[in-house]
Amino acid sequence: MAPKRTAGNKRKNRDDGPAAAAAVDDEHELLPPAEKRAATDQPAASAAASASGALVLQPGSDSGEPLLDLGDLLTGRIVKRPSAVIKTPYVADVRILEQDAMGNVTCDESADPLQAHCPSLDCAGMIVPGSQVRMTPSASGKGKTSHTIWLAEEPRPMGEVASVGAHPQLAERMVKTMLERHMIPELAGYSSFRTQVTHGKARVDFVLDYPNGDELFLEVKNCVCADYPEGQVPSERSSIGVYTSSVQPYRCCAIFPHGAKKPKIKVVSDRAIKHAHELTNMVKRTTSKPRAAILFIVNRSDTLQFRPCHEADMLFAQVLKRAHEAGVQLLAYRIAWDGGRARSGGSIPVVFDESVDTGAIDESHLKDVLQFNAEGGGRT
């Protein structure tokens, strides 16, 4: 049987794209203290900018160093979101949790909650009242919030807890480091890369340049969700953002996208659909065919494979599969979190549910979705 969606996954859809990270105020720096120190301590950058704006890579291999280091993290419990003090969904009221020498966790319930920047909103039900998050003090100390939420702790079956990268900007930052270190063998051979490149009407996250003149257009998607085996959703897990699978044997799948469909256009992520469609058109050209790839950064380490969440957005699943059939590479890499340190957890296969049929794409609906996005209808 195909995986299915639980009835609890109904919520108001809001933008949780990269732009959300700066939604509270422009003064709120996103570079955590540990990374800020590392940036000033390092010698001349290992990848220098060329006159063309490309990042020219230096030889070398992965040293086993983290992709990024957020520094020491504080553990907190969500009290309310939106904050009762700063009334925006991008701010949550949080109480700090303390751990004594015996490992007992305590919380001063009488203390006033602090205000934390919450750029991923509810993070598919992982950042809701009562849930635990990991934070750092804000880098600048000048913003409206004193802390930034980076990780969410998701209850999983059998009493397990998954650490999930909950900041929308983490994925692109880690991919940049992975490209600098040549850690993605499926894309091997490039000599330089560029970021945020406009190609026609499309804007892609990275363009990889190869010595023979070839280019590869790379789009990055941040994936935070994973499905649950049917009947094994922990009681303490919010029903928001929960999808279950009855497939046997069960293999934990990372899933993207998640959330409620936008009422006007009946999809979750018109932006992701647009990106997959644009890359498909690029590789189908009869002349000057570039390579293209979509890389899903699975910001957790407990999944065994990735699949588009057809239960939430069948059109995205269909358009993604058509992109794959046209020659767009589909890649998924896990991230393993050890406290505030993130390391690559390796690649996992990309799979499609048997219900995803590219021959059943409603081309009229797709056209309406693309027009909706072109008119600024959504950024998710």
Closest CA to 28 of 141, 168, 128, 188: 141
Per-residue pLDDT of the chain (380 residues; tens, 9 = 90+): 444 444 344 333 333 343 444 444 433 344 554 554 444 333 333 333 333 333 333 333 344 689 999 999 999 999 999 999 999 999 999 999 987 776 777 788 878 999 999 999 999 999 999 999 999 998 776 788 999 999 999 999 999 999 999 999 999 999 999 999 999 999 999 999 999 888 767 789 999 999 999 999 999 999 999 999 999 999 999 999 999 999 999 999 999 998 889 999 999 999 999 999 999 998 887 556 679 999 999 999 999 999 999 999 999 999 999 999 999 999 999 999 999 999 999 999 999 999 999 999 999 999 999 999 999 865 55
**In contact, 356 and 310? CB cutoff 8 Å:** yes
CA distance 94 to 74: 11
Identify the pLDDT of residue 44: 34
CA distance 126 to 166: 9
CA distance 160 to 105: 17
| Helix-strand-coil split of the chain, %, nearest 5 | 20, 30, 50
**In contact, 137 and 18? CB cutoff 8 Å:** no
**In contact, 267 and 317? CB cutoff 8 Å:** no
Identify the pLDDT of residue 106: 78
Tokens of 313: 């957005």
Three-state SS at 242: coil
Domains and CATH numbers, the chain: 68-164 (2.40.50.580), 167-375 (3.40.1350.60)
Closest CA to 278 of 357, 215, 370, 213: 370
Identify the pLDDT of residue 58: 31
In sequence order, which residues have a C-beta less than 8 Å from that of residue 109 and are 6 or more positions away?
95
Identify the pLDDT of residue 109: 81
Identify the pLDDT of residue 143: 81
- Specify the pTM: 0.83
DSSP summary character for residue 350: B
Size (the chain), residues: 380
**In contact, 8 and 359? CB cutoff 8 Å:** no
